[in-house]
Each structure stands twice: as C-alpha cells, then as structure tokens.
Homo-oligomer: A and B are copies of this chain.
C-alpha cells in the first residue's frame, strides 16, 4: 500500500469583485478542514483565485491581465503556501499565468509539502473561441486569453507516486490520459470550471453535461489504471452558472468520493497508488497489447480527414 490521503477541495462561486485575499482565505479554510481529516495532499480547481473570467469579453486583451498572476507565490497567495507548509501538505491549484516574457497560460502547479513548486502544467486543450460570438448564450474566450500549453503532459515523482496534471477541457480528450499513462501515471489531478449551460446548445440538460464530465474522467482512469482527482469551481458567478461534480475516481474507473452541491466543500479519500498495479499489469499492460503501427493518424493529422 502506498496511500496518499487526498482531499478534493471544491470551490463555490467566486464573484467578479471578490478579491484574491478572500478566495485564499476560503482555500485555507478548506485546507484546515482537510488537514483535520488527515489529508496530506489537497487539490483545488482550475483558475482557483478568481472568477471564471473567460466568460467576460475584453476588447483590449491587456485589460484581462488583471486576472493573471505575474509571480507565484505572490503576496496574496503566500499565506496559502505558508499554511500548506505548516500542515506538511502537498497541494495543486490552477491560476492564470503571465510570464515575464508577457505570455499567457492557463496553468496549474504541484506544490510539495515543503512549500516548493515541484511541477508546472499549462493547459493544452483550450476550448471556446477567440472573438466575441453573438450566437452564443455566453462567451467562452479561452482561446482569446491563453496560448495553448507548451509543456506537454509530463508526470512527476511526487509524494511517493507518479503524478500528472491536466485542466478542465483536457479531461475530455483520451490523448491526455494516454500520454501520461505511457509514463506510468498513478494519479492525475485536474480542476475545472464547466458552465452548466452549453453555450451552443441550450437544450442540453445539466444532467447530460455532468454525465459527459464523469464519463470522460472515469474512462481516462480505467483505460490507464490511474487515480483521477477532478475538482470543480461551481455555482452562480454573477449570473453565470458553473456545475459541480468534484470526484475522486479509482484506477478501476469508479467514483469513490464526490462533493455534493455547489458550495465550498472537501472530500477525502485514501488513494492507494498500488491499486493501479492490477490494471497496468493485465488488461492495460500496454507493452503486451498496444499496436502502435495502426495508430498513426493520431499523431499524423490534427483534424478529421474524410474520404470523398
């Protein structure tokens, strides 16, 4: 048994005018609760420090820099790092990253129990669009405000396991999990902000959207024999609703812990990394069963090519 007692820490809504110190205080409260339940690792959502700003259209993109962090930790996030170190807890959270070179990424990090940033991931599958789209019920401007991640899908030795990250829409793409699975990943952590309404299909029920979320993370877990910790920011942000669905999924694809509702909340689960062995050594023993000579299109072409 190699157990990481893991907390999935859902955040309820963050309104547009809520400042980072308030959000960080909420995150610390969740951390204290997780610590009280014995957790050694806590996972927060994507873009945890602010409202889900890609719904807001800034004609001048530079105006959007207000949502970005130019350093990490920053003065405002230092208390979160300090508390994690005091508790001896590892953590992961997402934020909008503005690099010294002026580049913009949707980023998440792993912070080790000593408070050091051990790993950085930059979101690769950016959903949405670049320009204001009057056809949509709401905007989803991730392709406007971020560059696609440039760091691939690495994994890291972290807290005794092999851990990888992805963010939100990445979780719907089987390539995400497979690239990490091919590096022996034992736990994938991810955060998400998923609108409760499909901006291009208003008739799609919330239940359907929750189904797609869970289907994607459960399949990714099962097909790579890995834990997946998927954490939502949820609830009504200035009239725009985000769904919940914070779950911990075991290497068999089963949901073993779930946050109910759309408020701040924590679930804790003992994730035994050795539980990944059976799947990796039998049905998903890649070395024995994969046939890469027939997968060429996956890396040779981006879009679908339909024969006439």
A280 lies within 8 A of chain B by Cβ: yes
Q: Check B222 against A212 for contact (C-beta < 8 Å).
A: yes
Query: Residues of B contacting A280 with CB < 8 Å?
Result: 304
Query: Residues of B contacting A290 with CB < 8 Å?
Result: 125, 173, 175, 302-303
Q: A200's closest neighbor in chain B, by CB?
A: B282
Give the contact-size bracket for chain A.
35 or more
C-beta contact mask, A91-131 vs B, less than 8 Å → 1, else 0?
00000000000000000000000000000000011110000
A74 lies within 8 A of chain B by Cβ: no
Q: Check B174 against A219 for contact (C-beta < 8 Å).
A: yes
A296 lies within 8 A of chain B by Cβ: yes
Quick one: given A211-B253, A223-B174, are A183 and B306 in contact (CB under 8 Å)?
yes
Interface residues of A in 251-288 (CB under 8 A from B): 252-254, 278, 280, 282-288
A228 to chain B, nearest CB (A): 13
Quick one: given A148-B291, A219-B174, are A297 and B212 in contact (CB under 8 Å)?
no
A60 lies within 8 A of chain B by Cβ: no
A216 lies within 8 A of chain B by Cβ: yes
Cα distance, A179 to B295, chains bound together (Å): 6
Query: Residues of B contacting A286 with CB < 8 Å?
Result: 302-304
A307 lies within 8 A of chain B by Cβ: yes
A54 to chain B, nearest CB (A): 15
Q: Check A127 against B289 for contact (C-beta < 8 Å).
A: yes
Query: Which of B125, B126, B148, B183 interacts with A297 by CB under 8 Å?
Result: B183
Cα distance, A294 to B179, chains bound together (Å): 8
Cα distance, A155 to B308, chains bound together (Å): 12
A167 to chain B, nearest CB (A): 13
Cα distance, A169 to B125, chains bound together (Å): 28
A1 lies within 8 A of chain B by Cβ: no
- A-B residue pairs, 3 tightest by C-beta: A287-B303, A174-B174, A219-B219
Listed A/B pairs (23) with beta-carbon separation below 8 Å: A155-B307, A169-B289, A172-B283, A173-B289, A174-B174, A174-B219, A175-B178, A178-B297, A178-B298, A182-B298, A182-B305, A183-B307, A200-B282, A201-B278, A212-B222, A215-B222, A286-B302, A287-B304, A291-B302, A292-B298, A292-B299, A292-B302, A299-B299
